[in-house]
Amino acid sequence: MLRVAVVGLGKMGQRHADAWNRLDNTEVVALVGRDESKLSPLTSKWNAAYFPDVQSLLEKETIDVLDICLPTFLHYETITTAIQLQEGLAIVCEKPLCLTGKEAQEVEAISEQKQAKIFVGHTLRFDQEYTNLRNHVVEEAVGEVGVVRLSRKTAFPAGWFADQEKSGGIIMDLGIHDLDWLQWTFGEVERVMTRHVKKFSHYPYEYALIVLRMKSGVIAHLELSWGGDGLHTSAEIAGKGGLLVANSDNKQAIQVHKPQSSQKVGYLSADLIGEPPIVRQLRHFRDCIIGEEIPVITLHEAVQAVKVVEAAITSAQTGEVVYMRGGV
């Protein structure tokens, strides 16, 4: 049985603890966080011990795995502290590993020294859509790849995520998903050119457009947005032999629809673009009245429409097939 301690019990930490407990041969034995009162419902739910910090955890509890779900700016310090305290410790860490390349390299060096095993949670590598997308590319479903387009949009994040100093901002926190997937699929990046805007006004947003050239020659474009209406992702891989397209707006196997008042949107078709049918209709009627056009709907056809509706209603009432009598 692997004994797991989770440090940082925000949304992500709770999700991790839940997932560990669903697995065989693992058990969450300890939770680590500053605020004991906030954690007490969780320690009793999972029957885990509470520790205020990693130091007291490693001094008093025997664990195999430390799962770090803290804000990004605390990763470096937490990892290095834990490795120093327990040689050979296994560490699972939420992405990004660290806020800077320098810190990340230091973690790599220390982990080799102390034989710590560190696993970073780049979830796209376990996402069915993105792993299969990669597999198809690697198996040359589109032949030699020329241009890749990726997009990832979420609502503006709450809490520490919005703080550049703590999360690294949109390019680090959101962009790392696709940038890791790109390197996993197409190898290393040669150069990168980013345009970035952000504003914390009435509606805060942060947005970036990144153009990359991979060492393999592949050209890539990544759109990142904080400030939309929920998660939207898309990917498009264009190659010599075809085009592979994925779009999150097109993947819901189940969509839920709830009734709405007909007074609200959705009753009449929204004539957002161009001339509405009602205008075309009345222009036509006007031109018929002044004798310039022949009606596209005759009075007789309107009569027949009422008759067929009447038959349909009769059928609904009787439960029988209704035949139209007389010429339709």
Partner 1 sequence: MKIGMISFAHIHASAYAHYLELHPEAEIAGIWDDDSTRGTEMAEKYNTDFYQDLAQLLAADIDAVVICSENVNHKQHVVAAAQAGKHILCEKPIATNIDDAKEMIDTCKQENVILQIAYPVRFSPVMQQVKQMIEAKEIGEVVAINGTNHGQMPGGWFIDKALSGGGAATDHIVHLLDVTRWLLQDEVKNIYAELDTKFHNIDVEDCGMVSIEMESGVIFTIDPSWSRPKVFPTWGDVTMEIIGTEGSLTVDAFKQHFLLYNDQAQNVQQLPWVDDMDQVLIADFIECVQMNRQPSITGEDGLRALEAVKGAYQAAAANRVVTLERIDV
Nearest to 129 by CA among 84, 174, 93, 178: 178
Minimum Å gap between C-beta 286 and partner 1 is 18
The interface region with partner 1, picked from 6-14, 70-78, 173-181, 205-213 by CB under 8 A, is 205-213
- C-beta of 195: minimal distance to partner 1 in Å? 4
Q: Contacts with partner 1 in 12-41 (CB under 8 A)?
A: none
225 contacts: CB under 8 Å, gap ≥ 6: 151, 152, 153, 154, 170, 205, 206, 207
Is 217 among the residues that bind partner 1 (CB under 8 A)?
yes
Question: Is 289 one of the binding residues for partner 1 (CB under 8 A)?
Answer: no
Among residues 15, 102, 199, 286, which is the contact residue for partner 1, using CB under 8 A?
199
Q: Report 234-263 residues binding partner 1 (CB under 8 A).
A: 238-243
Stretch that binds partner 1, among 13-21, 174-182, 217-225, 299-307 (CB under 8 A): 217-225
The continuous run of DSSP H or E covering 76 comes out as helix 75-85
Closest distance to partner 1 from the beta carbon of 148 (Å): 10
- What does the block give as tokens for 271? 């004539």
Write the DSSP string, 246-302: EEGGG--SS-------TTSTTSS----SSS-HHHHHHHHHHHHHTTSS--SS-HHHH
- Closest distance to partner 1 from the beta carbon of 208 (Å): 8
Contacting residue, 101, 203, 300, 319, with partner 1 by CB under 8 A: 203
Please, what sign has the CA dihedral across residues 263, 265, 266, 269? positive
Cβ 295 to partner 1 shortest distance, Å: 22
Whether the Cβ atoms of residue 19 and residue 78 lie closer than 8 Å to each other? no
Q: Spell out the alpha helix ranges (H) of 119-212.
A: 128-138, 164-167, 169-173, 175-186
> Does 191 interact with partner 1 (rule: CB under 8 A)?
yes
**Where does this chain bind partner 1 (CB under 8 A)?**
144-147, 149, 151, 191, 193, 195-197, 199, 201-203, 205, 207, 209, 211, 213, 217-221, 223, 225, 227-228, 238-243, 272-274
